[in-house]
């Protein structure tokens, strides 16, 4: 049973989430062993919330879950890549499709893309 090297990052590994269809990078989150096993078992992206210190089924509040299409592990066993089907069309809690909705240009940020949902409506 392959497993990331959780010890390297004090129990956590970074996880890149990519849209399986468009190739857009949607977000980065972290998994501990429990989140890793839960993701493989359930087929839904499950992370470890560093701010809440709790297992976090992505979309548990917004219902924008991420259906896992494929899982990759990097050469050093310390980073995971998930290709997912993003339910609801947006991964970011701000309502944007991707958490990387700000481009850095000449030392400033430019917002790219349009919000998919209104966070005030989704997180009541």
Please count the other Cβ atoms lying within 10 Å of the Cβ belonging to residue 121.
Answer: 8
Considering the complex, what minimum distance in angstroms separates the CB of residue 108 from a second copy?
Answer: 6
Q: Which of residues 5-34 bind a second copy (CB under 8 A)?
A: 14, 16, 18, 22-25, 27-28
Considering the complex, what minimum distance in angstroms separates the CB of residue 107 from a second copy?
Answer: 4
Structure tokens at 19: 């849209």
Please tell me whether residue 119 binds a second copy under the rule CB under 8 A.
Answer: no
- 35 sits in which H/E element: helix 33-42
CB 58 within 8 A of CB 47: yes
Fill in the DSSP letter of residue 6. G
The site for a second copy, by CB under 8 A, has a size of: 34
Considering the complex, what minimum distance in angstroms separates the CB of residue 3 from a second copy?
Answer: 9
């Amino acid at each position: 049973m392959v497993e990331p090297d959780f010890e390297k990052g004090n129990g956590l590994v970074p996880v890149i989430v990519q849209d399986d269809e468009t190739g857009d990078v949607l977000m980065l989150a972290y998994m501990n062993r429990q989140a890793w096993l839960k993701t493989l078992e359930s087929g839904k992206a499950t992370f470890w919330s560093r701010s809440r210190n709790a297992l976090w089924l992505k979309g548990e509040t917004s219902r924008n879950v991420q259906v896992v299409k494929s899982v990759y592990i990097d050469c050093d066993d310390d980073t995971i890549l998930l290709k997912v089907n993003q339910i609801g069309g947006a991964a970011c809690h701000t309502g944007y499709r991707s958490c990387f909705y700000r481009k850095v240009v000449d030392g400033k940020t430019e917002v790219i893309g349009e919000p998919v949902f209104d966070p005030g409506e989704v997180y009541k």
